[in-house]
Amino acid sequence: MRSYNVKKRGFTLIELLVVISIIALLIAILLPSLARAKELANRAVCSANIRGIIQSCYIYAQSNGSQFPATPLTTAAGGMTIGGAPGGPPAAPTGLATAGAVTSSWYATAGEPTLGDPLSCLWMLVLQGQDTPKSFICPSDPIATSPSAEYQTATGASAQYYYNFDSILAAGTPNTNGQGESYSIAFPWTQTGGVGGWWTDNSGSDVAEVSDMAPSNNAGATGTLERVTTTAVTGNTYGNYIYNSGNHNGDGQNVGFGDDHVGWEVNPYVGQSGDNIFTFDTTAGPGASTAVQNAVTSASAAIDVFSNTPPYDICMTPIRDVSSGTW
């Protein structure tokens, strides 16, 4: 019998390089598609979160005279709290061991500087059992990545204990104060300090109530992190990022309306009569020829919306700087 020695042939270096190049090319082709698919999935989760918040507001309103949650505002022109922390009693929280005790203190305490903060309005839903901290996180938000705890019975006079900021937050660059919150609400208060007609369970299907985190106006930022929220749709030469939320790379934002439907919007001009929901007007209502867009530039800005009758001038708050992450 004749035997043969069969020499096994391996891949040559050139063949290996060709295979590696093909794999690299396929990865380069597929990665954008995978990233796009992930973002679309994130938008769906975000949309469900916003719809859930509005539905929770409806549940709250059933026991509160048709009004959505709103802590008292102590000034006529509503200034958002510096730092973005929700309101809490100025006294140390010792003895306030229940959500009911905290919410009662919110309403009963006079002169508290953090009363009227938009975040405290949202947190009312958590303290009253209508929502959870996790639902306040958009999966596409690059800043707010962890939910806050529901409640913390710690000692101290800071409002942070009512939002449990201290366990997950640290000051730094970018400033992460406000981590745990990805969404903004229609600033609930009027020029006279009362709660506006838009912040009720009969506001209408064209009234924006909740959105992805509103951007602060920052014309000094670089590249796509710049924001000029007053830019008009017509003639915009920047790209959609210039006036959009930072939660979805500036491509747009989910906006929830008064009938609890949520739409993906590529610009903020989606309020009644084409109102820009990231600005406010002190002289005329949306759609008026004399309407003026006032950009919100900081968390301590005074928001003074024009009218308590339709069409409503909606301004989404709180705001966050897309470039630095600061409130």
Residue type, 115: L
Residue type, 174: P
pLDDT at 261: 96
The full set of domain ranges for the chain reads 39-320
State pTM to two decimals: 0.80
Burial of 61 (0-12, 13-18, 19+ CB in 10 A): middle
* Sign of the torsion angle spanned by Cα atoms 282, 285, 289, 293: positive
pLDDT at 110: 42
Q: Which residues contact 168 (CB under 8 A, 6 or more apart)?
A: 146, 148, 149, 179, 180
pLDDT at 5: 61
pLDDT at 173: 40
Task: Compute the distance between CA of residue 178 and CA of residue 176 in angstroms, rounded to an integer.
Answer: 6
Tokens of 135: 């639902």
pLDDT at 113: 39
Given a cut of 50, the residues of the chain with pLDDT beneath it are: 76, 81-97, 106-114, 153-178
Burial of 8 (0-12, 13-18, 19+ CB in 10 A): exposed
pLDDT at 7: 62
Nearest in space to 136 (alpha carbons), one of 160, 119, 159, 161: 119
pLDDT at 86: 40
Nearest in space to 160 (alpha carbons), one of 176, 142, 138, 183: 176
The SS3 assignment for 288 reads: coil
CB 306 within 8 A of CB 285: yes
pLDDT at 288: 85
Q: Which residue has the tokens 């800043």?
A: 143
Provide the residue count of the chain.
327
pLDDT at 284: 86
